[in-house]
Structure 1
Amino acid sequence: MAGNSTTGMTRRAVLGAFAATTLTAAPTFSNAAGFLRGAGDIRRIRMYSGRTGERIDMIYWIEGQYIKDAVKEVNYFMRDWRTDGVKSIDLRTVDIMAASHNLLDVNEPYMLLSGYRSPKTNAMLRSRSRGVAKNSLHMRGQAADLRLSSRSVHQMARAATACQGGGVGRYSRSNFVHMDCGIVRSWGG
C-alpha cells in the first residue's frame, strides 16, 4: 500500500479498519486526537495471564468516559504478579493496546507477559537480561509486553505502530511486542 511504507498500512486503511467495526478502541493522546472521529463509542480490553491464570474481558470506556470500576480491575490485572504490587496503569497504554488489538481483527485475548513492574522486579529482570531498561516505563505503569498466538510479532508491532501513540518494541526471539505510551519510537527485530 502507498502512503506509509514503514508500517505497510495507510492512514485511510487504519481509519477504515476502525470504522468497519462496531467495537472500537482508540488512543486518547493529543497527537491522535483526530485519528478516529466517529469510529465508535466504546473501548474493550481482553487479556489473560499465563502466570496467574486470570482473564479479563471488559468494556472500560463508554461514550468519552472511563469506567472507574473497570479501570481498577485493569490496574489489578496488570499488577506485578511477583510482588502483588498494584499501580495505576496509564490509560493511554491501555488505549494503544485496545486499538492495536482492534486493528488486528482477532477474538483471541492478549497474553499479558508484563504490565506494571516494581523497581525490585525490574532490577531482578535487568540482572538477567540486557533487554530490560534501567528506567523502564513498566515501573511507571506505562508499558505492557503482549503476545498473540494467532498473529506474528511483526503484525502486532505494525498495528501498534499505526496508532502513533508511543513506543513499540519487537522481541521476535521471545515472541512478544512491547507497547508503551512514551515517546513515539520503535526498536527490535
Structure 2
Amino acid sequence: MSMAEKTGFTRRGLLGVFAATAVVAAPTYSNAFGLLRGAGDIRRIRMYSGRTGESLDTIYWIEGKYIPEVLKEINHFMRDWRTDQAVSMDARTVDIMAASHRLLDVSEPFMLLSGYRSPKTNAMLRSKSGGVAKNSLHMKGQAADLRLKSRSVGQMARAAESCASGGVGRYSGSNFVHMDCGPVRHWGG
C-alpha cells in the first residue's frame, strides 16, 4: 500500500497546500504586488547627487525587513542640500524607486535631483517655476525627482507607473521623472 493510499495525501496535494498557505500568508496591504514587483528578497537603491557629489549604492531591505541604519543613510542622502535638512523619507517612495530601477534593468544609478525639500526651499522653487506644488510631497519626504542618462523620461515613467503605487510625473523638457508614494496618478508628457 502506498503512502497516498494510507494517508489520503499525495505529493501534489501537499505541494498545493503549501502553495495556498504561502499565498494566504503573503502581505495584504494595498498595491503590494505592484509595489514589490521585481523587488526580490533584497531591495537595493543606487543613486548619486550632482549637487553634493555623493553616491549611494546600498541594500536597505532584506527578507521582509528594512534596515534602520541604512534608511538613516538614505534620509541623509536625500536631504535638502540647500538647507542641509533631512527628514525620515517614506520607505514606500524608496521602494517605488528601487522597483522602477530594477524593472529598467540598468546598472547606472539614478541621479537624484530632489528628495526632501524644506518649506523654505519649496517656496523658493515655487516662486521660480509653475511646476512646483504648494503642498509638495517632497516636503513630507514622500517624493523624489530622478534622471537616468541611459533611459528616456518615458521609459522611466512607464516603469514607475507599472508599480501602480504612487504618483508619477513626466518632465520631458527638464529630463526627469517625479516618483512619490501618494495616490496613484500620473501627469506630464
* Band of TM-score, shorter chain: 0.7 to 0.9
Structure in which a larger fraction of residues adopt helix: 2
Measure, in 1, the Cα distance between the counterparts of 2:33 and 2:49.
33
CA distance 1:71–1:128, change in 2 (3 Å) = same
Contact in 2 for aligned 1:46/1:58 (Cα 8 Å): yes
Ranges in structure 1 where 5+ consecutive residues have no aligned partner: 1-27
Match in the other structure for 1:32? 31
- With the length of structure 1 as denominator, give the TM-score of the two structures: 0.83
Match in the other structure for 1:73? 73
Per-residue CA deviations over 1:71-96 (Å, capped at 9, x if unaligned) read 00000000000000000000000000
Contact in 2 for aligned 1:112/1:147 (Cα 8 Å): yes
CA distance 1:38–1:171, change in 2 (3 Å) = closer
Match in the other structure for 2:160? 160
Match in the other structure for 1:50? 50
Matched, 1:89 2:82: no
Measure, in 2, the Cα distance between the counterparts of 1:162 and 1:32.
11
Measure, in 2, the Cα distance between the counterparts of 1:172 and 1:38.
25
Measure, in 2, the Cα distance between the counterparts of 1:66 and 1:100.
18
Q: Calculate percent identity across the aligned residue pairs.
A: 77
Q: Following superposition, which runs of at least 4 residues in structure 1 exceed 3 angstroms of deviation?
A: 34-39
Pairwise CA distance, 1:34: 3.6
- With the length of structure 2 as denominator, give the TM-score of the two structures: 0.83
Match in the other structure for 1:64? 64
Match in the other structure for 1:130? 130
- How many pairs does the alignment contain? 162
Measure, in 1, the Cα distance between the counterparts of 2:59 and 2:155.
24
Point out the structure with max Rg over C-alpha: 2
Question: Which amino acid in the other structure matches residue 78 of structure 2?
Answer: M
Measure, in 2, the Cα distance between the counterparts of 1:97 and 1:37.
12
RMSD (Å) for aligned C-alpha atoms = 1.6
